[in-house]
Structure 1
């Protein structure tokens, strides 16, 4: 049974989500602020978090940034803010999806199912699809069996989508993927032409795996086209 943590300071929202998730077969945990959520993560195994942005004590942005230091389960942000900049901020600190309030509870349930399917599929099928358990290039090691990434011996923590993007590029060094192709394969949803989601995710990956994110060794930008994995090229 998969465990979902619902984090929101509005009792009505928690009650509404509990009602809709009740018949889905998930184990549910709740927290009223980010600090409670982080404390619960020390005690409980959680498979996905639905996290409100505007909360007292510790808001959703701070909470997501903090939990990403140690955890890589999918995170879906909830917020009354619908501006693109707010969405980019949420995705940029490690969220995997973003739902604007007021929301349709059935949409939240559907997004949870989708995120869990993708996360479980990436974990289970990576080794089978590749025929090997990992990728190692110039100090960077991608353990596809255990979904771990190390750089020069030190482990770095990527979100599920960051890991999926890095793995996609690293499997075919030198091959250029357009932003639309990356979105297609990782999000499995229609690409939004105005979206700069891929750029934000690539920037976050570089910040975690590169010595100097402004002079990347691994993920190269091909201007006007997309991105490629440099591999051992000089």
Structure 2
């Protein structure tokens, strides 16, 4: 069954263009022009549930960042954020509150489609294949457990609050523990393809991951920055 996408965009021409383009690409598409309508639609039982949300940052009734914040408090549906604002701080805040990726306006529809497919591909790769044999063994590093099948990380048994993209970054690092991974390598491992992205987006996500898995994020012991090279996941056995 085709993935069901929710497009939250108040510009009727752009919303219509996105709907037609995504439908031609094989998706089911619903749309909302207001943030409140989008939250109501996401709260309703869907069969199947929405596979992803394409969310405009500028909405007439409420800020798209607030929509993302409320959405993330209730569901883990992936979010691709659209922004016409030039200030990078809006993109950083969007990533910090739970958006999985962002795309600045104006954009090429093909790039939006590529990013959306990358988000959905990551989500499908994280879902266990029921009845297809034993699942992958969870990775354990002392008090930290990273369960790929459950798409969950736990510290001392308590769940770590991470977005889909942040968990995938953590998993990629853990699967390559002891190796320095550049930002480009991490993006390629997680997205499955290289897509031009905001230079510091990886750093923002790493900050959020550290907040979730480190005892003191300002003095990280698990996720180490190697200046000029990238990031290293240390095999801490505390």
Query: Given the two structures, how large is their TM-score scaled by the length of structure 2?
Result: 0.83
Q: Distance in 2 between matches of 1:25 and 1:145?
A: 27
User: Which 5+ residue runs of structure 2 have no aligned equivalent?
Assistant: none
Contact 1:96-1:160 within 8 A present in 2 as well: yes
Deviates more, 1:166-175 or 1:42-51: 166-175
Aligned to 2:39: 38
Looking at structure 1, the residues matched to 142 and 70 of structure 2 have their Cα atoms a distance apart, in angstroms, of 29
- Separation in 1, partners of 2:202, 2:231: 10
Distance (whole Å) between structure 2 residues aligned to residue 14 and residue 212 of structure 1: 43
- Which residue of 1 is the match for residue 222 of structure 2? 218
d(CA) in 1 for partners of 2:67, 2:128: 28
Structure 1 residues 179 and 39: alpha-carbon distance in aligned structure 2, compared to 1, 3 A threshold: same
Give the aligned partner of residue 55 of structure 1: 59
* Separation of aligned partners in 2, 1:152 and 1:103: 43
In 2, Cα distance between the equivalents of 1:115 and 1:89? 19
Counterpart position of 1:74: 78
Residue 13 (structure 2) pairs with residue 12 (structure 1)? yes
Q: CA deviation at 1:124?
A: 5.5
CA–CA distance in 2 between the matches of 1:227 and 1:106?
30
The 5-angstrom pairing of residues 1-234 of structure 1 reads 1-43=2-44, 44=46, 45-123=49-127, 132-187=136-191, 188-189=193-194, 195-233=199-237
Structure 1 range deviating more: 138-147 or 113-122: 113-122
* Aligned-residue offset at 1:145: 0.7
Q: Give the gaps of 5 or more residues in structure 1.
A: none
Normalization by structure 1: what TM-score?
A: 0.84
Equivalent residues, number: 230
CA distance in 1, matches of 2:22, 2:229: 41
- Post-superposition Cα deviations, 1:20-62, rounded to whole Å, max 9, x if no partner, equal 1222332222222323222222223111110000113322112
Q: Relative to structure 1, is the Cα distance of residues 233 and 110 closer, same or farther in structure 2, using a 3 angstrom cutoff?
A: closer
Paired with 1:109 and 1:221, the residues of 2 have a C-alpha distance of 32
Q: Specify whether residues 70 and 154 from structure 1 end up closer, same or farther in structure 2 by C-alpha distance, changes over 3 A only.
A: farther
**1:199-230, CA deviations, whole angstroms, 9 ceiling, x for partnerless residues?**
11100111222232112232122333322222
Q: Distance in 2 between matches of 1:52 and 1:163?
A: 24
1:76 partner SS: strand
Provide closer, same or farther for how the CA distance between residues 66 and 212 of structure 1 changes in structure 2, counting only shifts above 3 A. Answer: farther
What CA distance in whole angstroms lies between the structure 2 residues aligned with 1:172 and 1:103? 34
Shift of 1:190: 5.6
Q: How well do the aligned residues superpose, as a CA RMSD in angstroms?
A: 2.6
From the superposition, tell whether residues 148 and 63 of structure 1 become closer, same or farther in structure 2 (CA, over 3 Å): same
Work out whether residues 91 and 197 of structure 1, in 8 Å CA contact, stay in contact via their aligned partners in 2. Answer: yes
